[in-house]
A and B are shown apart, each in its own frame.
Chain A
């Protein structure tokens, strides 16, 4: 069996395992939408601030479900990998001819496939509530591609944590750290409108701000190539770093077992 086929089988397993847990799936799908609805309604008045880039707060916030969805996908995939380690499935898999790269990427690809299905729901929900997608039809695949890259980056980071801790509880304990990155970013306001200096500084050094701004630019600005280049560049850099970290963790995990 080729490596691609191995990845396909393991990705299908990861995808189906998530689909068979309706509680988890519903939460990953519904929570970002509910969050969008309540935050956009509650903060709608903020669009009256001088210098706010759009008159629609929902459009401003539409990028957030994509990042939220990526996060939940990453967390759920990492928890499942933690369970695979706890139950000994990973050890048994390591005894088969399956290649290491297939074992790692299979889990990741399955998670991203699920993420893409979620992104479609978020995008349709945005259009239903009247968001004017400024980048036009050509911007849609770019939006999904960037969101998928974000999901891969978070997913590889989650995989590293699962491989290092070796348990689903360990992953659950670490996942709030992902939310730190999300909440301490330019998620709720553009960086130039953040009044607190300390927060603006954190948001500026936080790579997640640039990922959000890349997605957001497609929705509210159109084609802002500088913002997009920064977002894609950071996404690729984070993927490279997290994949290397997870490959190292994977090697160590197999050596230990």
Chain B
């Protein structure tokens, strides 16, 4: 299984870093979001009631970190859908002795891609004056949180891709994640949201992850324990979803 996983991971990573059509979207989107929101909206920290001590750049970095982690998983789902569409996955299903390795391979590739992408955004954020009040332990915690969110995103998208096996599945992978991400306190703290968006953000699991990430960057612990309970639970749930997707692809003969 490990050999299959490593082979798939290597192929996907090689494609991701050598083909502009794979590299550019996953790298540019977090950068665009970060520059657009941290730069274009920096005055929002002057809105009465905005009280995040490290500043607006750090506030937005937390969002971009988790957004890119989740969407990185979706981009991997696009790769899986393409592999099915072009017949590669069918050959893969025939060749792989332990098919769980296929899923694991795509997950490893997604983690490598996301780590590279967020490292680039981190350097840009520091260059733009991002303040970090958290220590090394907080940053490691933040990275771990991002990696777990990436795993959840990949498992969700893999489940969809393996069931539908067509690039047409792209919007189905993308839109729910997009909604979950943006129906959270993206631009201002949750206390400053009003109306329907406040109600939705309160029950949105992504809100808890976002608040934990912002706590870690500010050197705090508020909501961190809950986030680290929530993400593994989501990972288990979506692992079952992806596994059943794989079974569905096997039943359909790829």
Contact = CB atoms under 8 A, between A and B. Distances in A.
A24 B28 contact: no
Nearest to B46: A49
Contacts of A31: 175, 178
B47 A176 contact: no
A203 B47 contact: no
Interface residues of A, number: 43
Contact of B197 (A23, A41, A176): A41
Contacts, number: 131
Q: B interface, how many residues as a size bin?
A: 35 or more
Contact of B171 (A24, A42, A177): A24
Given A172-B25, A173-B20, A42 B185 contact: yes
A46 interface: yes
A85 to B, nearest CB: 15
A138 interface: no
A43 B194 contact: no
B46 to A, nearest CB: 7
A187 B43 contact: no
B35 A199 contact: yes
Nearest to B28: A176
22 contacts: A23-B170, A31-B175, A31-B178, A34-B178, A38-B182, A38-B186, A41-B197, A42-B185, A42-B186, A42-B188, A43-B41, A44-B194, A45-B194, A46-B41, A48-B48, A49-B46, A49-B47, A173-B25, A183-B32, A188-B41, A196-B42, A199-B42
Given A45-B194, A174-B21, 9 more contacts: A23-B168, A26-B171, A39-B187, A42-B182, A48-B47, A179-B28, A180-B32, A184-B36, A188-B41
